[in-house]
C-alpha cells in the first residue's frame, strides 16, 4: 500500500516546534524528510529529558525523518545541500529572521535556481511589517495576538498550556504545502509559501477580534464561555466536577425540565435567550451550582444523558493519559520506544498508522552524503 506522499522529498532547516510539526505530518504521509541539523543539533533535543533521557518534543515531532548534520556556512556542506535541493520537492525553514537568506538559502533564490521547488518559510511575524525582523516564541505570540488576554481567570491572564502558536503555524504550513504540490501537478511550477505564527493565531482569534471591532472584547471567564451560558465546570455533591454546555433554546428547555427539575426557569425573563443568560450569568450559575450540590456526579450524568445535553469531565493529564478514547502510537527512539497520541486523520479501510523512528543526531549523515556525492 502506497502512502499519499511516497516519492516526495522534503528538506528542512528546522528547529523547535513549528517547522518540525509541519514536516512531521509530511513524513507521516510517506514523504522523505531530510532534517538538516547544526552540529549541536536542533535545540529542541534539549527541551527536556523525560523520554528515556530524550526530549518529549523532539521524539514527538521528528518521527520518520532523516537527520543530516551540516554547517550552512561550510562551502562543502552548502554544495551538498544544493545537490539535495536539486532533487527535492519541498524546502521548509524556520530559522531566525534572515538567517537562511544570509547563508545563501533564501527561498526566492532557491525557486529561481530550482523552478519546481516549493518553499515554505515559517516565521514569527511574517515577511514584512514593523515586526518582521523580530524573533518570536510561542508565549510571545500568545501575548502579542491577545490570546493570553482572553485566556485565564478574571484575576489574571494565562498561557494556553501547549505550544499553540507553533502548532497552528505548522498546521497552516502543512496545508499550504499540500495545496502547492497539488497546483504543481497542473502547472509544473513550484511556489513560495510564507506562514507566520502571528497570522496563524490571529486567524484563530477572529471572534474576539470581531467583538473588539464591533462590540466589546471578551473578558476572561476561566472555564466558562464568554458568549454562551450556561457553559463551564460545576461541582457536584460528591466533590467532583462536570463540564457541560447549552447551545440552543431547545437544549435550554430540556436542561431546565430534565436536569434541573425546574421547568419554570424556561420562561424566567432573565434567562429566555442566550444573550440574557450571558448577561445574567452570575445569577444563573448560582442557581445551577445550588441544584448540582444536591446530586452526585453519576446521578447528574444520568440526567444529562436523558436530556441529551453534552457534558464532559475536567480531567487532569494523568486521567487523560488513561482515557478510553485515547489512541496511541509507539515511536521508536534511539533510547527506547516512546508512547504518544495517534495523530489524525484516520483513513477508512486502512490499517492503523505506524510511525517511523525518531532519529539520533546525524544518524543518516554518512548515507545521505554518499547518496548525494
Q: Which residues are catalytic?
A: 225
User: Beta partners for 355?
Assistant: none
Nearest to 179 by CA among 191, 167, 168, 166: 191
Separation of alpha carbons 78 and 61, rounded Å: 25
Nearest to 353 by CA among 53, 63, 116: 63
Can you tell me which residue has the cell 533535543?
45
In sequence order, the 6+-apart residues with CB closer than 8 A to the CB of 102 are none
Q: Number of C-alpha atoms within 13 angstroms, CB side, residue 161?
A: 3
Rg (CA), the chain: 25
H or E stretch covering 168: helix 164-187
Nearest to 312 by CA among 96, 323, 321, 322: 323
Helix (H), strand (E), coil (C) string for 342-371 = CCCCCCCCCCCCCCCCCCCCCCCHHHHHHH
H or E stretch covering 194: strand 192-196
Checking 334-337 for CB contacts under 8 A at 24+ apart, the result is 334/54, 334/358, 334/359, 334/360, 334/363, 335/51, 335/52, 335/53, 335/54, 336/51, 336/52
Amino acid at each position: 500500500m502506497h502512502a499519499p506522499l511516497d516519492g516526495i522529498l522534503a528538506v528542512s532547516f528546522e528547529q523547535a516546534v513549528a517547522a518540525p510539526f509541519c514536516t512531521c505530518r509530511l513524513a507521516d504521509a510517506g514523504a522523505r524528510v531530510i532534517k538538516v541539523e547544526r552540529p549541536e543539533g536542533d535545540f529542541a533535543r534539549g527541551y527536556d529529558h523525560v523520554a528515556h533521557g530524550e526530549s518529549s518534543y523532539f521524539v514527538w515531532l521528528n518521527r520518520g525523518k532523516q537527520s543530516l548534520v551540516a554547517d550552512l556556512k561550510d562551502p562543502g556542506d552548502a554544495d551538498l545541500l544544493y545537490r539535495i535541493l536539486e532533487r527535492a520537492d519541498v524546502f521548509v525553514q524556520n530559522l531566525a529572521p534572515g538567517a537562511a537568506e544570509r547563508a545563501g538559502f533564501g527561498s526566492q533564490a532557491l525557486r529561481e535556481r530550482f523552478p519546481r521547488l516549493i518553499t515554505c518559510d515559517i516565521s514569527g511575524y511574517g515577511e514584512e511589517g514593523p515586526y518582521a525582523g523580530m524573533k518570536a516564541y510561542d508565549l510571545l505570540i500568545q501575548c502579542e495576538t491577545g490570546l493570553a488576554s482572553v485566556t485565564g481567570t478574571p484575576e489574571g491572564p494565562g498561557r494556553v498550556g501547549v505550544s499553540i502558536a507553533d502548532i497552528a503555524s505548522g498546521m497552516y504550513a502543512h496545508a499550504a504545502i499540500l495545496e502547492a504540490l497539488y497546483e504543481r501537478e497542473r502547472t509544473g511550477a513550484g511556489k513560495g509559501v510564507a506562514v507566520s505564527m502571528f497570522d496563524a493565531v490571529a486567524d484563530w482569534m477572529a471572534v474576539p477580534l470581531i467583538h473588539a471591532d464591533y462590540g466589546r472584547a471578551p473578558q476572561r471567564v476561566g472555564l466558562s464561555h464568554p458568549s454562551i451560558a450556561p457553559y463551564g465546570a460545576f461541582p457536584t455533591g460528591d466533590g467532583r466536577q462536570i463540564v457541560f454546555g447549552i447551545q440552543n433554546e431547545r437544549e435550554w428547555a430540556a436542561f431546565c425540565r430534565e436536569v434541573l427539575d425546574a421547568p419554570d426557569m424556561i420562561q424566567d425573563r432573565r434567562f429566555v435567550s442566550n444573550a440574557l443568560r450571558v448577561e445574567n450569568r452570575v445569577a444563573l450559575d448560582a442557581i445551577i451550582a445550588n441544584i448540582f450540590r444536591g446530586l452526585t456526579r453519576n446521578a447528574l450524568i444520568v440526567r444529562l444523558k436523558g436530556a441529551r445535553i453534552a457534558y464532559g469531565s475536567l480531567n487532569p493529564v494523568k486521567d487523560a493519559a488513561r482515557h478510553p478514547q485515547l489512541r496511541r502510537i509507539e515511536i521508536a527512539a534511539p533510547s527506547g520506544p516512546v508512547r504518544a497520541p495517534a495523530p489524525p486523520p484516520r483513513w477508512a479501510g486502512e490499517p492503523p498508522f505506524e510511525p517511523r523512528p525518531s532519529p539520533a543526531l546525524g544518524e543518516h549523515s554518512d548515507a545521505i552524503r554518499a547518496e548525494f556525492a
